[in-house]
Amino acid sequence: MNNNGSAKGKESVVRKKNKKISSKLLMYILPVVIITVLILVNIAATLSKNRMSEMATETLESSISNQSDNIESWLDENLRYFNTVKHTLESQKIEEADYESFLDSYYGYNSNSPKGFYIGTASGRFYKAKDADIDEKDVLGSTWYKQGISRVQMAYGTAYTNAEGETVISATGIIDDGSDEIKVIGADVSLNKISIIVNSGVKMNKASSFLVDTNDYKILAHRDFNIVNTTLSESTSDTLLAGAAKSISSGDLTSKEIGDYVVAFDEVQGTDWVLVSYIPTNVIMSTVSQIGMLLFVVGGVAIILITILILFVVKKVIAPLSNISNNISAMSEGDFTIEVDSSSDDEIGVMGSKVSDFVNSMRKMLASISEESDKLQSESDNSDMVSRTMFEASQSQAEAMQQLNETVDQLATAVNDIAQNATVLAQVVADTRDNSEKADESMKETVGISQKGRDDMEKLNVAMEGIAQSNEKLVESINKVGTASEEITNIVGMIGEIAEETNLLSLNASIEAARAGEAGKGFAVVATQIGKLAQTSAESAQNISNLIEEVHKLIEDAVEQAHESADNIKENSELIGVAVDTFDRIYNNIQESNGLIEAMITDIEKVDDVATNVAAISEEQAASADEILATSENMVEMANNITKSSQDVADNSHELAGTSQTLTSYVQKFKI
The vertex-321 CA angle with 316 and 324, nearest 5°, equals 155
Pick the CATH number of 485-600 from 3.55.50.30, 1.10.10.60, 1.10.287.950, 1.20.1560.10: 1.10.287.950
Supply the pLDDT for residue 512.
77
CA nearest neighbour of 115 among 126, 125, 106:
106
Torsion sign over Cα 155, 157, 159, 160: negative
Supply the pLDDT for residue 173.
94
Rounded to whole angstroms, how far apart are CA atoms 181 and 175? Answer: 10
Res. 328: pLDDT tops 70? yes
Contact 212, 278 (CB under 8 A): no
Average pLDDT over residues 126-134: 89
Res. 10: pLDDT tops 50? no
The gap from C-alpha 453 to its chain's centroid, in whole angstroms, comes to 49
Res. 8: pLDDT tops 60? no
pLDDT digits (tens, 9 = 90+) for 237-266: 888 889 999 999 898 888 888 888 889 999
CA nearest neighbour of 282 among 264, 257, 265:
257
Supply the pLDDT for residue 127.
93
Task: Give the containing element (helix H, strand E) for 278.
Answer: strand 273-280
pLDDT digits (tens, 9 = 90+) for 396-453: 666 766 766 676 666 667 667 766 776 776 676 677 667 767 767 776 777 777 677 7
Instruction: Return the biggest CA–CA distance within the chain.
Output: 186
Range picked from 115-124, 568-577, 612-621 for highest mean pLDDT: 115-124
Q: Name the band, by pLDDT with cuts 50, 70 and 90, for residue 145.
A: very high
Which of 278-282, 352-356, 510-514, 642-646 is predicted least confidently?
Answer: 642-646
- Per DSSP, the chain holds a count of helices (H) and strands (E) of 10, 11
Res. 119: pLDDT tops 90? yes
Average pLDDT over all residues of the chain:
77
pLDDT digits (tens, 9 = 90+) for 204-242: 777 888 999 888 888 888 888 788 888 888 888 888 889
Contact 49, 300 (CB under 8 A): no
CA nearest neighbour of 339 among 321, 324, 318:
324
pTM for the model stands at 0.42
Length of the chain measured in residues: 672
185: helix, coil or strand?
A: strand
Average pLDDT over residues 515-527: 73
Quote the DSSP letter at residue 214: T
Rounded to whole angstroms, how far apart are CA atoms 241 and 230? Answer: 11
Range picked from 148-152, 444-448, 513-517, 520-524 for highest mean pLDDT: 148-152
Contact 297, 45 (CB under 8 A): no
pLDDT digits (tens, 9 = 90+) for 629-664: 677 677 667 767 776 766 776 677 667 667 767 776
592 burial (CB, 10 Å; 0-12 / 13-18 / 19+) is exposed
489: helix, coil or strand?
A: helix
Average pLDDT over residues 31-38: 86
Q: Which fold has domain 49-288?
A: Beta-Lactamase (3.30.450)
The residue extents of the domains of the chain are: 49-288, 384-470+602-669, 485-600
Of all residues in the chain, the percent with pLDDT exceeding 90 is 7
